[in-house]
Amino acid sequence: MVRGKEGKPVEFGPKVLLSWVGGFALRHTMAYDPFSENPWLERAVTDCSKLLGQFPKEALIDDGFSSHTNRRFLAGHAIGHSLKLIGRSTPEDRTKNRKRRARRNQVEGLIGTLKNSFYWDKIRLRVDGGESIQTSLAFGTHNLVRAFANA
The pTM of this model reads 0.77
28 secondary structure, DSSP code: E
pLDDT for residue 100? 92
pLDDT above 70: residue 13? no
Q: What mean pLDDT comes out for the span 1-24?
A: 70
pLDDT for residue 51? 86
47-51, 64-68, 130-134: range with lowest mean pLDDT: 130-134
Phi, psi values for residue 29, rounded to 5°: -145, 145
Q: What mean pLDDT comes out for the span 78-83?
A: 93
Compare 9 and 144 and report the one with higher pLDDT.
144
pLDDT above 90: residue 150? no
pLDDT for residue 131? 76
Query: What pLDDT band is residue 19 in, cutting at 50, 70 and 90?
Result: confident
pLDDT for residue 31? 77
* DSSP string across 60-127: ---GGG--HHHHHHHHHTT-EE-SPP-S---HHHHHHHHHHHHHHHHHHHHHHHHHHHTTTTS----S
Domains of the chain: 2-140 (3.30.420)
